[in-house]
Each structure stands twice: as C-alpha cells, then as structure tokens.
Amino acid sequence: MELNQALASYERRASELRIITRERSRYILNPVGPSTRAEFNGGYLEFHLMIENTGRRNSTVNRYQVEIFELQQVFSDLVPVEGRNGIQGRHCQHGMQPNRILSTSGIVRIDAERVADHDILLFFVPGITLERFTDAGLQMSGENRKFGTLRCRLTLTDTTQSSVSHEFQLHEE
C-alpha cells in the first residue's frame, strides 16, 4: 500500500518535457586555415526551440545528445556553448546573442507547467571534417559552396532521468 502511494505521488510530480521547434536552426562549420570555404574541423549546431515542462515537477536538464543522421553518428555528453558573441564559419563571421542562449552553467531549468524563456541551444561538435562529410555523400553546391540540410535528433535529459527527443533540420550558414 505504501509503495503504491509513493509511486502515485512520484508519477504526479514527474517532469514531462516537450520540445517545440522554431525556424532558423543552423550549423556553422569551423574552418581550418586561411581557405575558409574548404577544410573544417568541428562545427557548431544551433537549435532554435522552446522547451516546455508540462509536468508537475521542476526540471533541470543536464545531459545533451545529438544524432546526425547523415553522418550516422551520435554525439553524447555534449556541453552547451555559452557567452559567445560570434562564431567564425566557412563563409563569414556569425553574430551571436548571448542573452538568447537557453543554458546557464551547462544546465537548463524549466519550472513545472512552464516554458523556458529563451530559444537557442548551441553545441560545438568536434571531429566533423570535410572527409567525414564527403564519405557520407554530402557535397557542396551553389555559388557559395554550402552543404545541404543536416537532419539531427536532439535529446535532452534532466536530473530525474526524464528525457525528450526531437528531430531538427539544420541548414549551413
């Protein structure tokens, strides 16, 4: 009887996360050397989103994972990038708005029955190279020699092991 009551109490107070996508999610490849439009090593993945907690318990998201379908690779234990004013990409310098970054000190807090205020989660993923892109069949096209859309699955997990996954389409900038 006590166990059933404890389980019912836990279920009523669990966090329940939901991701709502916003436009403009993108990836920025980190150039290597003076020829910014060719070689790269690593990339920034910028997810524009809202995180809603429909549960009755506050949520503290502290684990992040991204799967890039085209590369057939999962990147676990990512740490959000915070406080950046700009990122050098293969095509130009991209301005950032640090006040729109959702995470602080590597975590995202969402109160029970609330939506997180800001709308960007930014991650640096090392080891993404031109060779890996071409091995996956990805090619540059157009006048600006940009790669196509990457399909990614972002998974967020909080301290109570509640998690949510959502698929995004990121374009290169």
∠ CA 154-160-161, nearest 5°, is 40
* Separation of alpha carbons 41 and 91, rounded Å: 14
Query: Could you read off the pLDDT tens digit of each residue along the chain, which spans 173 residues?
Result: 676 665 555 556 789 999 999 888 999 999 987 665 678 899 999 999 999 999 999 999 999 999 999 999 999 999 999 988 888 888 888 888 888 888 889 999 999 998 887 689 999 999 899 999 999 999 888 888 889 999 999 999 999 999 999 999 999 98
> Could you give all domains of the chain from N- to C-terminal order, each with its CATH number?
17-172 (2.60.40.10)
∠ CA 164-166-167, nearest 5°, is 160
| Amino acid identity for residue 68 in this structure | I
Taking Cα atoms as reference points, which of 64, 43, 52, 62 lies closest to residue 119?
52
